[in-house]
Amino acid sequence: MRTLRFSICDVFTDTPLTGNQLAVFTDARGVPPETMQALAAELGFSESVFVLRPEQRGHARLRIFTPTREVPFAGHPVLGTAFVLATALQSDELRLETGRGVIPVRLEREGAAVRFGWMTQPVPTVSLLPEPQALLDALGVAGSTLPIELYDNGIPHAYVALPSSDDVARVRPDFERLAAVAPHGVSTFAGRGTDYKTRMFAPSHGVNEDAATGSAAGPLALHLARHGRLAFGDAIRIEQGAELGRPSVLHARVIGSAEAVECVEVGGSAVVVARGEFRVP
């Protein structure tokens, strides 16, 4: 039997037992992918991370698993892993290797403690979602106040704009139908200025609803800026997770223009709340 040590952290929050839960296995050398997948399913968090030796001159290489599949990139796993590794690596910028390339994470400290981090995400591709009515029907909403577009930064999300935050809170998806028509995440959102509320559903990934979705936050800022709801360079504050009893706060901004996106950044806090070990064959 082999002992695998892991940390649990709550991401996109500075308060334990809120935010999005994440398991980080800090030394996954020699662990086969099927064991990684089984451990992610056993824990049942939206994602679990397995840390390996770097291959592209980063500080570490990450493999990220939902309860049902491996994904090349996800936001809260990258940010949470940076917080977990920061003490050992003693660096204010970590370069974490993912299936979508090396993700830099800049860490802000208060004394020795890391309080906040900004990750630079892959710039997403954008496409119009064809025939969105099936998606709207599965969500149980009448329509979207902006075009429903698909943004892919390694994990794709479609964006459905609703009239108000109350409308977002009232969404009751048919998860079976949603899984059948949306092989990607679906982010419903509302807000104005720089304050937004979101809910993200991904039943096809084994995650009916996510408490905080970093990979969806950056593209949301880009979606808003491309459609004139936000100035390029301005940061938005996103609330998510209240309906799950896991309130979370994310920050996102996009530098550049609609024709030339220079940088997509997502920021937040995280707290380590537990450590443990698995014994596996």
For tokens 């599965």, the residue is 138
Picking from 191, 212, 189, the residue whose alpha carbon sits closest to that of residue 77 is: 212
215-243 burial code (b ≥16 CB/10 A, e <16): bbbbbbbbbbbbeebbebeebbebbbbbe
For tokens 């064809």, the residue is 130
What's the pLDDT at 172? 98
Stated as kind and residue range, the H or E segment containing 95 is strand 93-98
What's the pLDDT at 267? 98
What's the pLDDT at 87? 81
Q: Which of 34, 42, 47, 93 is catalytic?
A: 47
Check: CB of residue 264 under 8 Å from CB of residue 230. no
For residue 4, CA distances in Å to 25, 121, 165, 197, 254 come to 7, 29, 42, 37, 38
Q: What is the DSSP string of 219-238?
A: HHHHHHHHTTSS-TT--EEE
Picking from 139, 129, 131, 209, the residue whose alpha carbon sits closest to that of residue 178 is: 139
What's the pLDDT at 96? 98
What's the pLDDT at 186? 98
User: Residue type at 10?
Assistant: D
* Contacts for 213 with CB less than 8 Å, ≥ 6 apart: 20, 75, 76, 157, 185, 187, 198, 200, 240, 250
What's the pLDDT at 19? 98
What would the two tokens of residue 229 be? 């709801």
Over residues 83-111, the pLDDT tens digits come to: 999 988 888 999 999 999 999 999 999 88
Question: For 65-74, 86-95, 211-220, which range has the lowest pLDDT when averaged over its residues?
Answer: 86-95
What would the two tokens of residue 150 be? 């698909």
Active site residue 47: yes
Q: Is residue 116 predicted with pLDDT exceeding 90?
A: yes
Q: What is the DSSP letter of 204?
A: G
Q: Going from the N-terminus, what domains does the chain have, and what CATH number goes with each?
A: 2-122+268-280 (3.10.310.10), 125-265 (3.10.310.10)
Look up the pTM and report it. 0.96
Over residues 216-262, the pLDDT tens digits come to: 999 999 999 999 999 999 999 999 999 999 999 999 999 999 999 99
What's the pLDDT at 110? 87
Beta strand extents in the chain (DSSP E only): 2-11, 20-25, 48-52, 60-65, 70-71, 93-98, 101-110, 113-121, 125-128, 149-152, 156-161, 185-192, 195-202, 207-210, 236-240, 248-256, 261-268, 270-280
Picking from 49, 10, 42, the residue whose alpha carbon sits closest to that of residue 28 is: 49
Phi, psi of 67 (to 5 degrees): -60, -15
Mean pLDDT for the stretch of residues 189-198: 97
Q: Name the band, by pLDDT with cuts 50, 70 and 90, for residue 55.
A: very high
Mean predicted lDDT score pLDDT of the chain: 96
Over residues 118-154, the pLDDT tens digits come to: 999 999 999 999 889 999 999 999 999 999 999 999 9
Over residues 21-42, the pLDDT tens digits come to: 999 999 999 999 999 999 999 9
Phi, psi of 163 (to 5 degrees): -65, -35
Q: Give Cα 23 distance to the centre of its chain.
A: 14
Q: Is residue 194 predicted with pLDDT exceeding 90?
A: yes
Give 31's Cβ-side CA count (13 Å radius).
28
